[in-house]
Amino acid sequence: MGDIWWGVHNATHLDQIKHVADAGRNPNEIEYGEGLLAAESLAMTVEMLAGLEGRGTPAARVVWEGLAERLARMPIPSELSSPTVVQARQLADPEFGALPTLASAYTTGAIRLLESRFEHELIPPTLRESMLVRWRRLVDAEPWLRREIGSMR
């Protein structure tokens, strides 16, 4: 089961490549620079959605463990102490220390993408709409998400 989050993440990249190509753009645009940051932010958003959609299941727990692994790529303020932060500290990975912009795409980039309603030139309208449908369904089912992040209507 440990590969669930990895599968969700990689499948999102493949899905984005298809949607970008179907929209008449070169899929290589998501391999480097701003395109890579957008691709990683999108994949992480899908992981977050999968974790929330499967809440309470063993699969969701594995997805959240993958999110903790991504948090381990960022500097973590010492005053934070949630169970997820404690887990992330134990997984600390210095590999991304020299790549803070890329590391942030895996964490805060996902939140920024949600806040933007998936507005990005490398997220074609068909993919954007499917992401918004999933988010709206979650918000309707989980009122606390509306309070914490917003309805995105």
Q: What is the pLDDT of residues 15-47, one digit of tens each?
A: 999 999 999 999 999 998 999 999 999 998 998
Dist. CA 95–CA 93, nearest whole Å: 5
29 neighbors 3 (Cβ within 8 angstroms): no
Neighbours of 119 (CB within 10 A): 9
pLDDT tens digits, 132-146:
999 889 888 888 777
- The structure's pTM equals 0.82
59 pLDDT exceeds 90? no
- Compute the average pLDDT of residues 78-95: 74
Model pLDDT, residue 12: 93
Cβ-based neighbours of 72, under 8 Å, separated by 6 or more: 88, 89, 90, 91, 92, 93
